[in-house]
Amino acid sequence: MCTCIAMKTRDAYFGRSMDIEYRFGEKVVVTPRGYGFDLRNGQRLETWYAMIGMATVMGEYPLYAEAVNEKGLCIAGLNFPHNARYFQPKPDSLNLTPYEFIPWVLGNFSGIRELRRELGNVNLVDIPFSDSVPVASLHWMISDGTDSLVVEQTESGFHVYDNPAGVLTNNPEFPFHQTNLSNYMNLTCQPPQNRFSSRLALNAYGSGMGAIGLPGDSSPGSRFVRACFCKMNSICEGDDASSIAQFFHILDAVSIVRGEVLLQDNKCSATTYTCCANATQGIYYYRSYANSQLTGVRLTEENKNRKSLSIFPMEERQQIRFLN
């Protein structure tokens, strides 16, 4: 389970909640320009653009959960079980493994218009990273501050959807979530009015009764609606500090408290971290379940041009500012 949003004020922002029942050795990782990836199709990818995001690193290979490149193109992979389908390599296609998709997107492209021309040739193949790291069932949200896309490969093939809401969660397939929003088109943030019956004198009995009917559970469909509603009704100043604060408040609306959601094997899912990248300025902010203070890592000229990865371990210990 996860929720991803893209938001634009003066700058472009992109981020997600990572809702998961385990940890994957995640660290903030900067991949520099010109970094080499040996692809399973026999080709070698050398990145045109540096990127920053949350990843686990295995043998100098960053396995990104989400990232943004120096041009402001952003992408996140979200859980898509039972629906994701990966095929065998196809001739005359660009065959990529799911774990290669994020480096390929961010290493090659500066925006969605440029990327869209190449997506039609992609075939995601069923090849794991290693014997101990199986193929992850994913779909992806991509944004450049102007447009957003969703990429899904299902039994029916490789699909690219326009995403005007700039929100993604998990199952079912993305067209369901777009259609499901119509069930809430009468929802309003305004104080309620009596539409029940003109023959009954119904009045609001308290303040804060706007958005009655907004789903509050943690299912993917409900989180999609709630994130869309909070984002689309967001009131936010355009400066960076206000935008970052607002972004994390929107993610708070869909975060999962430890113990709130148990999976079928009785494992406990929770929001292990939330993140927000200022894609315009190249700054990645995050906070973890254990540490609610924001931590930021910048894309600098130094780490853009290094020959190796720059790796920043997560700050997990709670940081508290005492005033006396």
Active site residues: 2
Q: What are phi and psi of 303, to 5 degrees?
A: -80, -20
Of 180, 83, 218, 71, the residue nearest 140 (C-alpha): 83
Strands 122-124 and 138-143: unpaired
For residue 317 the two structure tokens come to: 């210990």
DSSP state of 118: H
Token look-up 């898509």 returns: 80
Strands 122-124 and 2-8: unpaired
Burial of 144 (0-12, 13-18, 19+ CB in 10 A): buried
- 182: Cβ–Cβ under 8 A, 6 or more apart, which residues? none
Give the whole-angstrom CA distance, residue 2 versus residue 168: 8
Contact predicate 254/226, CB 8 Å: yes
Cα dihedral across residues 131, 53, 272, 145: positive or negative: negative
Give the whole-angstrom CA distance, residue 5 versus residue 168: 7
Give the whole-angstrom CA distance, residue 216 versus residue 237: 26
For residue 187 the two structure tokens come to: 């929802």
Convert 196-239 into a string of H (helix), E (strand) and C (coil). Answer: CCCCCCCCCCCCCCCCCCCCCCCCHHHHHHHHHHHHHCCCCCCC
